[in-house]
Amino acid sequence: MKDNEKAKKYGEAEIAKARLEPWPNPSPERDYLIEISFPEFTCLCPRSGYPDFATIKISYTPGEFIVELKSLKLFLNSFRDVYISHEEATNRIFKELYETIKPKSLKVVGDFHPRGNVHTVITVEEGGPIKS
Protein backbone atom coordinates (compact mmCIF):
# COMPACT_ATOMS: atom_id res chain seq x y z
CA MET A 1 0.00 0.00 0.00
CA LYS A 2 1.29 3.46 -0.89
CA ASP A 3 1.70 6.17 1.74
CA ASN A 4 -1.22 8.20 0.34
CA GLU A 5 -3.58 5.18 0.34
CA LYS A 6 -5.17 3.93 3.49
CA ALA A 7 -7.25 0.95 4.37
CA LYS A 8 -10.77 1.82 5.45
CA LYS A 9 -11.39 1.48 9.14
CA TYR A 10 -14.31 -0.68 10.28
CA GLY A 11 -16.70 2.27 10.74
CA GLU A 12 -15.80 3.80 7.37
CA ALA A 13 -16.47 0.48 5.63
CA GLU A 14 -19.85 0.14 7.38
CA ILE A 15 -20.85 3.70 6.50
CA ALA A 16 -19.82 3.21 2.84
CA LYS A 17 -22.32 0.37 2.42
CA ALA A 18 -25.07 1.92 4.57
CA ARG A 19 -28.65 1.15 3.54
CA LEU A 20 -31.84 1.71 5.51
CA GLU A 21 -33.28 -1.56 6.75
CA PRO A 22 -37.02 -2.02 7.32
CA TRP A 23 -38.15 -4.22 10.21
CA PRO A 24 -41.67 -5.51 10.79
CA ASN A 25 -43.76 -3.26 13.02
CA PRO A 26 -44.09 -5.14 16.33
CA SER A 27 -47.48 -3.51 17.12
CA PRO A 28 -49.33 -2.96 13.82
CA GLU A 29 -52.72 -3.15 15.57
CA ARG A 30 -52.34 0.40 16.94
CA ASP A 31 -51.00 3.77 15.87
CA TYR A 32 -48.06 5.09 17.87
CA LEU A 33 -45.40 7.75 17.44
CA ILE A 34 -41.68 7.06 17.06
CA GLU A 35 -39.36 10.03 17.62
CA ILE A 36 -35.65 9.86 16.81
CA SER A 37 -33.04 12.58 17.30
CA PHE A 38 -29.63 12.50 15.61
CA PRO A 39 -27.66 15.45 17.07
CA GLU A 40 -24.35 14.88 15.27
CA PHE A 41 -25.36 15.03 11.60
CA THR A 42 -22.69 16.44 9.28
CA CYS A 43 -22.41 17.12 5.58
CA LEU A 44 -20.40 19.51 3.42
CA CYS A 45 -21.51 22.81 1.91
CA PRO A 46 -21.64 22.34 -1.88
CA ARG A 47 -20.40 25.89 -2.45
CA SER A 48 -17.61 26.37 0.09
CA GLY A 49 -16.77 22.83 1.15
CA TYR A 50 -17.08 23.86 4.80
CA PRO A 51 -18.71 21.33 7.11
CA ASP A 52 -22.33 21.84 8.09
CA PHE A 53 -23.64 20.47 11.38
CA ALA A 54 -27.25 19.72 12.25
CA THR A 55 -29.63 17.87 14.48
CA ILE A 56 -31.91 15.64 12.42
CA LYS A 57 -35.26 14.94 14.08
CA ILE A 58 -37.47 12.18 12.73
CA SER A 59 -41.05 11.55 13.85
CA TYR A 60 -43.25 8.90 12.30
CA THR A 61 -46.29 6.73 12.76
CA PRO A 62 -45.32 3.31 11.41
CA GLY A 63 -47.34 1.29 9.00
CA GLU A 64 -46.16 -2.24 8.30
CA PHE A 65 -42.49 -1.40 8.99
CA ILE A 66 -40.19 0.49 11.36
CA VAL A 67 -36.59 1.47 10.60
CA GLU A 68 -33.78 -0.51 12.19
CA LEU A 69 -31.81 2.04 14.22
CA LYS A 70 -28.24 0.95 13.42
CA SER A 71 -29.03 1.11 9.71
CA LEU A 72 -30.47 4.62 10.24
CA LYS A 73 -27.35 5.73 12.14
CA LEU A 74 -25.05 4.46 9.38
CA PHE A 75 -27.26 5.99 6.67
CA LEU A 76 -27.20 9.40 8.36
CA ASN A 77 -23.44 9.17 8.87
CA SER A 78 -23.02 8.49 5.13
CA PHE A 79 -23.70 12.20 4.47
CA ARG A 80 -20.55 13.37 6.28
CA ASP A 81 -18.41 13.59 3.12
CA VAL A 82 -21.24 14.58 0.75
CA TYR A 83 -21.45 18.07 -0.76
CA ILE A 84 -25.16 18.78 -0.31
CA SER A 85 -27.42 21.70 0.63
CA HIS A 86 -29.47 21.72 3.81
CA GLU A 87 -32.65 21.48 1.77
CA GLU A 88 -31.47 18.59 -0.37
CA ALA A 89 -30.10 16.64 2.60
CA THR A 90 -33.35 16.93 4.58
CA ASN A 91 -35.48 16.02 1.55
CA ARG A 92 -33.23 13.05 0.67
CA ILE A 93 -33.44 11.69 4.21
CA PHE A 94 -37.23 12.06 4.09
CA LYS A 95 -37.49 10.37 0.67
CA GLU A 96 -35.29 7.39 1.58
CA LEU A 97 -37.14 6.82 4.86
CA TYR A 98 -40.56 7.19 3.24
CA GLU A 99 -39.73 4.78 0.42
CA THR A 100 -38.13 2.23 2.77
CA ILE A 101 -40.68 1.98 5.58
CA LYS A 102 -43.83 3.49 4.00
CA PRO A 103 -45.08 5.05 7.27
CA LYS A 104 -48.59 6.38 7.87
CA SER A 105 -47.03 9.76 8.62
CA LEU A 106 -43.47 11.07 8.56
CA LYS A 107 -41.80 14.32 9.56
CA VAL A 108 -38.10 15.05 9.14
CA VAL A 109 -36.59 18.25 10.53
CA GLY A 110 -33.05 19.34 9.68
CA ASP A 111 -32.03 21.91 12.30
CA PHE A 112 -28.71 23.24 10.97
CA HIS A 113 -26.36 25.02 13.34
CA PRO A 114 -25.65 28.67 12.61
CA ARG A 115 -22.76 29.39 10.28
CA GLY A 116 -22.04 32.90 9.07
CA ASN A 117 -24.78 34.14 11.40
CA VAL A 118 -27.49 32.14 9.57
CA HIS A 119 -29.59 29.43 11.23
CA THR A 120 -31.61 27.17 8.93
CA VAL A 121 -34.42 24.75 9.83
CA ILE A 122 -35.87 22.57 7.06
CA THR A 123 -39.09 20.61 7.71
CA VAL A 124 -40.50 17.96 5.37
CA GLU A 125 -43.78 16.30 6.33
CA GLU A 126 -46.27 13.84 4.83
CA GLY A 127 -49.42 12.28 6.21
CA GLY A 128 -50.82 15.08 8.31
CA PRO A 129 -49.53 16.87 11.36
CA ILE A 130 -47.71 14.74 13.88
CA LYS A 131 -48.32 15.52 17.51
CA SER A 132 -45.50 14.93 19.97
Q: Is 67 among the domain residues?
A: yes
- φ, ψ for residue 48, nearest 5 deg: -100, -25
Whole-number Å distance between alpha carbons of 50 and 31 = 41
User: Looking at the whole model, is its pTM more than 0.85?
Assistant: yes
CATH assignment at residue 116 = 3.30.1130.10
Q: Is 52 a catalytic residue?
A: yes
**Catalytic hit among 3, 31, 45, 111:** 45
- Per-residue pLDDT of the chain (132 residues), as tens digits, is 555 557 888 888 899 889 999 999 999 999 999 999 999 999 999 999 999 999 999 999 999 999 999 999 999 999 999 999 999 999 999 999 999 999 999 999 999 999 888 999 999 998 865 665
Q: What is the pLDDT of residue 127?
A: 80
| Gap between the Cα atoms of 106 and 48, Å rounded | 31
Catalytic residue (one of 3, 43, 52, 81): 52
Domain membership of residue 114 as a residue range: 18-126
Q: Is 43 a catalytic residue?
A: no
